[in-house]
């Protein structure tokens, strides 16, 4: 299986290609050369240079639907079309971060279910299967009409927390009621106590308020806050402030996806959080020591094993 990268995360695509080459040397996995340019009228142009490596072969596209979201989705569709025209045997799509996945339901009459729209675009293209990662709503794979595999980075985070002794004298914390099931699963797996923050968000202003902490005392313990995505950093800041006020020794916020929109990185850097552990599903240039990236390539190499 050869790997082809969109614009969103070429470093991750390259690492996956190297991982496949190392694990399956006889399969001659390569990173396909692609030229992505833009016309003066802002239209994308796709040219797959290594056409001879595509014809009759299995290919996997690696593309996060991150900022610029619409542009990256359109770019992906153009890459798919180019691969189909070159005669690829089958094409898989690996979406580390699925943009629009937070719009998975209708809150007001007249709204679109954007996650379903994106799933339909992919399902109706020349794609054999889709790989997704730690979605906010685990029901989203059902929006696709092609085989879809929902992977989890949980074990990567657990390994990092264990290797740095953060799980000693610790408790798992859900930053809101919606994430309670996810946090409870981790707490049960690690045999750690579970706490929950009573949080509310003003959907007009986006302002987050952390009202109270429910569960046993956190004083003197490491608080491991578990979430799926960091959008603006406000939940990180408010959760850390509340937990420190309650006496937490360290506050470690774990989230698979770090969007950090607007000034999100600054919000995290100025907050009382000790460490934010996220993945390279979305990459940013960071100037803070508070953020640690976990590399996803080994997880995706293992996930692609049955299709190489």
In this prediction, residue 208 carries a pLDDT of: 64
Segments making up each domain of the chain, as ranges: 2-151, 154-294
CATH class of the domain defined by 2-151: alpha beta
Known active-site residue 250:
no
Report residue 134 CA to chain centroid gap.
6
Residue of 53, 116, 199, 221 with catalytic role: 199
Contact partners, residue 86, CB within 8 Å, separation at least 6: 48, 51, 54, 55
Question: Do the first three CATH levels of 2-151 and 154-294 match, i.e. the same topology?
Answer: yes
3-state secondary structure of 92: strand
What sign has the CA pseudo-torsion 263, 270, 208, 101?
positive
* Per-residue pLDDT reduced to its tens digit, 190-229: 999 999 998 666 555 556 666 689 988 999 999 999 999 9
List per-residue pLDDT tens for the chain, 308 residues long.
999 999 999 999 999 999 999 998 888 789 999 999 999 999 999 999 999 999 999 999 999 999 999 999 999 999 999 999 999 999 999 999 999 999 999 989 999 999 999 999 999 999 999 999 999 999 999 999 999 999 999 999 999 999 999 999 999 999 998 889 999 999 999 999 999 998 666 555 556 666 689 988 999 999 999 999 999 999 999 999 999 999 999 999 999 999 999 999 999 999 999 999 999 999 888 778 999 999 999 999 999 999 99
**Are 93 and 127 a contacting pair, CB within 8 Å?**
yes
User: Residue 119: how many CA atoms within 13 Å on its side-chain side?
Assistant: 21
Residue 27: its H or E element: none
Question: What CATH number labels 154-294?
Answer: 3.40.50.2020
In this prediction, residue 203 carries a pLDDT of: 55
**Are 173 and 226 a contacting pair, CB within 8 Å?**
yes
Q: From the CB of residue 266, how many other CB atoms can be counted at a distance below 10 Å?
A: 13
Q: Cis (ω within 30 of 0) for the bond into 93?
A: no
Specify the pTM: 0.94
């Amino acid at each position: 299986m050869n790997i082809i990268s969109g614009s969103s995360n070429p470093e991750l695509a390259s690492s996956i290609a190297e991982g496949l080459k190392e694990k399956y040397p006889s399969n001659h996995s390569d990173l396909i050369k692609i030229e992505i340019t833009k016309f003066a009228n802002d239209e994308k142009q796709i040219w797959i240079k290594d056409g001879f490596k595509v014809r009759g072969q299995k290919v996997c596209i690696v593309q996060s639907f991150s900022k610029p979201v619409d542009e990256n989705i359109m770019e992906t569709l153009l890459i798919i079309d180019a691969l189909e025209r070159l005669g690829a045997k089958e094409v898989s799509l690996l979406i580390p971060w699925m943009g629009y996945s937070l719009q998975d339901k209708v809150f007001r009459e007249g709204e679109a279910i954007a996650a379903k729209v994106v799933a339909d675009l992919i399902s109706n293209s020349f794609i054999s299967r889709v790989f997704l990662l730690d979605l906010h709503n685990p029901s989203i794979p059902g929006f696709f009409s092609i085989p879809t595999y929902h992977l989890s980075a949980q074990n990567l985070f657990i390994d990092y927390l264990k290797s740095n002794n953060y799980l000693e004298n610790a408790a798992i914390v859900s930053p809101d009621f919606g994430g309670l099931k996810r946090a409870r699963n981790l707490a049960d797996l690690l045999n750690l106590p579970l706490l929950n923050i009573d949080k509310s968000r003003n959907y007009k202003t986006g302002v987050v308020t952390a009202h109270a902490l429910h569960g046993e005392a956190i004083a003197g313990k490491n608080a491991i806050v578990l979430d799926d995505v960091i959008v603006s950093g406000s939940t990180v800041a408010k959760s850390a402030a509340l937990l420190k006020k309650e006496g937490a020794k360290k506050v470690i916020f774990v989230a698979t996806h770090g969007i950090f929109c607007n000034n999100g990185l600054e919000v995290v850097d100025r907050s009382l959080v000790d460490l934010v552990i996220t993945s390279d599903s979305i990459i940013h240039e960071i100037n803070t020591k508070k953020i640690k990236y976990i590399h996803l390539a080994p997880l995706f190499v293992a996930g692609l094993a049955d299709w190489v």
